[in-house]
Amino acid sequence: MALSPLSVVHVNANCSNLDTSLAFYRDLVGLEPMTHTHPVPQRGEAFGLEGEVQWDAHLLHDDRGLAGPALDLLEWKRHLPVGRPPADANHLGFFRLCLSHPDLDALHARLEAASVPCRSGPTTVPVLPGQTLRFRDPDGACIELIEAPKIVGDA
C-alpha cells in the first residue's frame, strides 16, 4: 500500500546570510516570519555533527500561519555549511522548493524589479497543471511557484 503524505510540517533551507534570505522570502516571495530561533550552542550528535552546533533561523509561513507548513531559513553559526545547491536536477538532496501563489504576474514584476532572473513555463509537477515561475533564491536553491487562486489543500 502506498502512503500519501497529508502535509509537510516544515522544510529547512540552509542560508549563507539569514538577513538576505529573510528579506528575499519575506519581501519578494511574500512569506511571513512568525518564529525566530537562535539557541545557545548544543551538542551536534542529533544532527549527525561532531562537537557543538549553533544556528540562527526564521520560520516563515503563508496565509495559513501556524496551521500550514513552514519554510525554516537556517543559518548555521557553528559547523558552517559548504558548497551550493547543484545547478542540475539530477543530484540527490534538496533541489527545488515548490510553492503556490495567487498572482504570478505580480510576483514576476516584483522579482524583475529586484533583478532576480526568472523564467516561466509549464509546471514540472504533473498533478498540478498550469503555469509556473522559476527562479533561484540568494543561495542558489531553485524555487518553483505554481499559480493557484487558493492554497493547495484548502477546501
Structural domain containing residue 34? 10-83+93-147
Any idea what the CATH number is for the domain that residue 48 is in? 3.10.180.10
* pLDDT recorded at residue 94: 66
From residue 96, give the alpha-carbon distance in Å to each of 47, 86, 92, 113, 134. 22, 10, 11, 23, 10
For the chain, what is the domain count? 1
The CA distance from 30 to 10, in Å, is 17
The CA distance from 37 to 59, in Å, is 8
Confirm if 28 and 22 have CB atoms less than 8 A apart: no
* pLDDT recorded at residue 29: 92
Q: First-to-last CA distance in the chain?
A: 26
Vertex 153, ends 95 and 31: CA angle to 5°?
A: 55
Is 154 part of any domain? Answer: no
Tens-digit pLDDT profile for residues 38-73: 999 999 998 888 899 999 999 999 888 888 889 999
Q: Residue 149's pLDDT band (boundaries 50, 70, 90)?
A: low
Does pLDDT of 85 surpass 90?
no
Q: Model's pTM, two decimal places?
A: 0.82
Is 20 part of any domain? Answer: yes
Strands 131-136 and 142-147: antiparallel
Phi-psi region of 55 (alpha: psi -120 to 50; beta: other; left: phi over 0): beta
Tens-digit pLDDT profile for residues 97-147: 888 888 888 988 999 999 999 888 766 656 566 778 889 999 988 888 888
